[in-house]
Structure formats: structure tokens, C-alpha cells
Amino acid sequence: MASNLNVVVCSFYTADDYYRAHGERLAKNLEELGVEYVLREIEKKEGEDWADICRKKVPFLAEVCAANPDKKVFWMDVDCMILELPDYIFNTSADIVGFQRGYSSPLTIGYERRSRFWEPSFWGVNTTPLARKMIQEAADLEKVSTIKATDDYFMEEAWKANCDNMTFQIIPSNAVVGMGTTSDASRNAFFKFGASGNVEDFKGKVEQHKANNSGLRKKALNLAKKIERKLPPRTSNRIRLLADTLGITGKLTAVTSNPEFQKRKKISDDLQLAAQAGQVEKFNEMKNLFEEKYLLTQAEMNSVSASISFLHYASKPSSSAINLAWWAKPFPGNFGDWLSPLIVSHYTDKKVIFQSPVRLAIKDHMIGLGSIGRFIKPNSVVVGTGISTDELTLAKSARYVSVRGPVTARVVKESGGPTVESFGDPGVLISRIFPVERNKTNGRVALVRHFTHKPIPLTLDPNMDELDIFMSHPDDIKVLVETLNTYDRVVTSAMHIFITCQSYGIPCALVTFEGFEDSVHGNGIKYGDYAQGVGLASINPIPVGLDFQKIDFENITTDHKISSEKLDEVEAAIVKGLSYL
């Protein structure tokens, strides 16, 4: 935490419900942290739009800087939040501190992939003459300019004019909730950004800098998004379904970068492909060469770890194989998603080959556990798959054996597909794959967060231990479920940890975090869909604060256990699905 804090945070908002509510939330946020702030409601004049309001940030920031010559001034968008005050940010000695455009990593630093250097949602301006000169020059340009542009255009121009003579500090992407690569050594996330949706609406309508290498893929992706926004929802859903089926989604969202980064990425990708193909000798040889040549980044180590898990399933001693679609990322793997190959592999002697959900599927394949119903293809065999939002059109001609629950079944039917009457998330079978007898427990509480919640700074109760969800290998999953069974109860924001607890009968509280309710993808239907699918009352995560010492988890804990009859039904669905492949 920052000591001897001598900063002021500034922002403004217009008098509409969305921004005024966020202004009130930000004021409360900063007061709780003990940070001085300047927060102003501004008038949106007749004829002004979002872009006109945005450019007012520049003179406003210059005004606050002039009024506080001896304090560091931080601008932040009003719909963002600060979770804590890290010393390396708020006591920085750099002229300018902020996030690189897109909250991206130093591996992609500069202008090769981004049209502008800085992310405009959070800027720190020091008290140095050079820092204040840059801000004033941005304000001077905004004052005389007649072009249609937002604040980051003028800030970028001032930055380019002064950067050769300035010191600057890039805030790591891990400092943003939901960004970066998380590991045990990661810094806490201190910043949560908001998104009103106005940025996409104004692309192409305001003056923008051009990236040195924007690429045809990026242009195609932006065009596709623009067209999709203008179409009626039903038409948009069907076009999205076609893009997912043909693998266009995966191709358009693939990342490109500089040659050295691409070289390393190719080695990592080739190593992963060897693992997915079950090529043990080739994989081991490439892995050794990779580790001898480079000091691997955390992301590369995570990729290698996931590759070892791919290899485990793809190299089973069999002459036959089935293809299975599951969500493999983020590497090294998310516990819930990697239950899919573990469970399916348990019921077949065949090799299990990874089929990317976002790529074209040449062969018939199974799609099972996870909220990946959007990526069901005409040649999919569907077993227990769910959806995260019901605003979808699903592939009607796939072979539907079972789905997660009645909500997914309804969307299948509305999409022109069959009536599905067999329900149940395959994750409930974990207790049959790793039988564990719950004996005397340790008197403590286990916390397991959804991976998107991992960076949130929490204050844990002394009686609570945190367990990691990042894993993919069945040996690691086995250890985790055995460990969970030693605890009195579990608190989790991850649905498949909750499902695991209900499979074993472990008392569990399903939670989310206040201010982060939208961090997990979807509109929340998946929880009720799952619960109804296994014959339990509908449930939703309960929002809780970040100080766990103030929360009585006993009052929000349930101790349900999935019935043997439901486990039999889900097991039978997997066996039936495998018979088609």
C-alpha cells in the first residue's frame, strides 16, 4: 500500500443514470481508500455526443493539474474502480504512469499493433515540469482544434511531441482485473475498468491515429463487428453461428505480433500441436529444446503445462481415437473446463483428441462439459453442454444426447433443434471418478475463486485457506478434490467447484464479489440451468464484500448432494454419446 500518499484522483460524469450512479460509486470507493479526489458533474449541451464529452477530459485534467502543482494527479474514467493503492503506482517517480493501450503486456509494447501508446482510462501525471508541460500542450491543442476527436487523440499528440525527453512507467497488465497472466508471484489487481459501449459506436467517426501494422485480420474483425451490430438480433445470431461453425471466429481473433515474439510463439504452438496429436517423442524433444534455448515466460510455462495435459489424453495406448471439444484456455487450464476430457476419457479406452471449439471441425466429435453451446456444430455429439446466455441460435442438426438443463434445452428447441429431455452437467460425475470418503474434517474453510476473480485483493478470515483453480492434468485435479474433502466447507465463485462440492456432498457457498458481478461471462442463466438439470432448486451466486472477516458464510452455505439416480442418468448419456463416435 502506498505510504505518504500525496495524490489527487479526478474524473467527471454526465447527468444520466449510468454515469451519475458510477460517479457516486467512485466517490464512495475513493473515500473508503482515503484518497483526495475532484469529481465533477458536467453538463451535456444540446448537440453534444459522447466524443464531445470525452475531449473535455483534456482541459479538465489540465485544470486539476494547475490547481494541484505539488500533487500527483491521476485521471480515471468514472465507471472504473481502484481496489487498493500500490506504492509502485501512487509513489512513482516517472513523469507519466499508465497502462499501455489495450492493457497489454510489454511483449507487445509500442506502435506495431496499437495506434496509440496509452490506455486513456487511467493516467498518472507527476509534479515534474515535463509532465505538466505535456498535459498543458494537450489542452492547448484541444482548445484550438476543430477536428472531431476524443481525449486520447490530443493526449497522444502531446505524448509524441514530448516522449523523447520524458520518463514513463507502464503498469503491468496483471494490475487490471481479468487481464494478464496470473501466477503465484503475480501482483494484486488494483484497477477495474468499465465499458459503456460508446467506444465501438464511435469508431470511424472520430479522428484516430493509425497503427503501423493494423493487418487485414484486424480490419476484417472490426468490419464483422460493425456489420453484426447493425443486424437484427435473430439474423446476427445466425451469422455468428455460421462463423463459429466454419472456424472463422478463431481465425479473426488470433493474435499477431513482432517477429521474435512470433518465433517463440510458433515453437510453443508446435509443441502444443505435437502434444494434441499424442506424439510423445516429438513433444519431449521440442520441450527440451525450448527450455534450453529460452528462459520461459509465465505464459510459455503455462502453455507447456497445458500441453503435458493434452499429451496425457492423446497418447493413451489405443489405436482408436475420439475428438472432444472443450475450452482449454486460459493455460495452464481452468479446473472446470478440463473436467471434460477427464470425465469423457474415464468412460472410453480410446485416445481423446482436442477439437478447438472455435475452429472448423472436419470430423464428428463430442462436445460436453462447459458453457460452450454456442460452438456446437452440425457434426457435434452433444452431451451435457450448457450455455452462458440464452440470446443464441444453436446448431439444430447436431446429435443432442443431453444438455446441462432445461434452459439450454429450450434454446435448442427455439433454434429448430430436437426436444432434449436428458439433463445433467457431466461435472457431477467427478465423485465417481475419484471416490473420496469424507471422514473427520480439518475445521477450516477453503476458498476457490473463478479464474477471472483471481487477482481481486481479498482479506481472508484467519480460518480460511485459498486453493488454486488453475490446473488441467488429472493428477492435479485428483489432489484438489481430495483436498476439498478435508475442509468443513468451501466458499467458491467457480461453478464447477460448486458442482464438485455437490457431487461429494461438501457444504459450499456459491458467491460472487460486489463490484465484480459481471466478471464471469454470460447473463447468469447457467447457474439455474445447472441446478434444475440435476433436480435442485435454482441458485445464483450471492454477492459478498472483499473483507471476508466481516461475512458469515454459514448462513449462505448449502449442503446438497447429487442423487445416485441423476449420476446414473448423466453416466448413461456419456456412454450413449461415445457410441456414436
Report the CATH number at residue 30.
3.90.550.10
Q: Are 383 and 439 within 8 A, CB to CB? A: no
Domain assignment present for residue 139? The answer is yes
Over residues 451-478, the pLDDT tens digits come to 988 888 899 999 999 999 999 999 999 9
Strands 118-125 and 72-76: antiparallel
What's the pLDDT at 246?
59
Rounded CA-CA distance 408/566 in Å is: 18
Res 333 pLDDT > 90: yes
Rounded CA-CA distance 55/157 in Å is: 13
Are residues 185 and 326 located together in one domain of the fold?
no
Domain assignment present for residue 480? The answer is yes
- Whole-model pTM? 0.77
What's the pLDDT at 425?
97
Are residues 25 and 142 located together in one domain of the fold?
yes
What's the pLDDT at 5?
75
Domain count, the chain: 4
Q: Which domain holds residue 342?
A: 259-427+569-579
Are residues 364 and 405 located together in one domain of the fold?
yes
Are residues 167 and 264 located together in one domain of the fold?
no
Write down the residue that cell numbers 482541459 correspond to. Answer: 59
Which residues 6+ apart lie within 8 Å of 60 measured at CB?
10, 12, 40
Q: Which amino acid is at 399?
A: R
Q: Are 33 and 188 within 8 A, CB to CB? A: no
Are residues 123 and 176 located together in one domain of the fold?
yes
Comparing 251-260, 267-276, 327-336, 566-575, the range with the smallest average pLDDT is: 251-260
Q: Which of 195, 226, 243 is the last residue of a domain?
A: 195
Are residues 366 and 483 located together in one domain of the fold?
no
Are residues 240 and 286 located together in one domain of the fold?
no
> Which cell numbers hold the place of 6?
500525496
Rounded CA-CA distance 342/502 in Å is: 18
What's the pLDDT at 202?
42
Are residues 491 and 388 located together in one domain of the fold?
no
Over residues 58-81, the pLDDT tens digits come to 999 999 999 999 999 999 999 999
- Give me the DSSP letters along 211-238: -TT--HHHHHHHHHHHHHHHS-HHHHHH
Residue 466 pairs with which residues in a beta bridge?
447
What's the pLDDT at 274?
97
Are residues 396 and 475 located together in one domain of the fold?
no
What's the pLDDT at 115?
75
- Write down the mean pLDDT value for the chain: 88
Rounded CA-CA distance 139/48 in Å is: 19
Rounded CA-CA distance 403/382 in Å is: 7
Are residues 465 and 341 located together in one domain of the fold?
no
> Which cell numbers hold the place of 537?
432448486
Q: Are 188 and 455 within 8 A, CB to CB? A: yes
Res 21 pLDDT > 50: yes
Read off the pLDDT band of 214 (50, 70, 90).
very low
Read off the pLDDT band of 249 (50, 70, 90).
low
What's the pLDDT at 181?
67
Are residues 403 and 459 located together in one domain of the fold?
no
| Dihedral of the alpha carbons of 523, 526, 527, 532, in degrees to the nearest 10 | 130
| Dihedral of the alpha carbons of 406, 409, 414, 418, in degrees to the nearest 10 | -140
Over residues 149-197, the pLDDT tens digits come to 889 889 988 998 898 899 999 999 888 887 766 666 677 889 988 765 4
Rounded CA-CA distance 381/388 in Å is: 19
What's the pLDDT at 297?
80
Read off the pLDDT band of 200 (50, 70, 90).
very low
Are residues 366 and 442 located together in one domain of the fold?
no
Over residues 496-532, the pLDDT tens digits come to 999 999 999 999 999 999 988 877 877 889 999 999 9
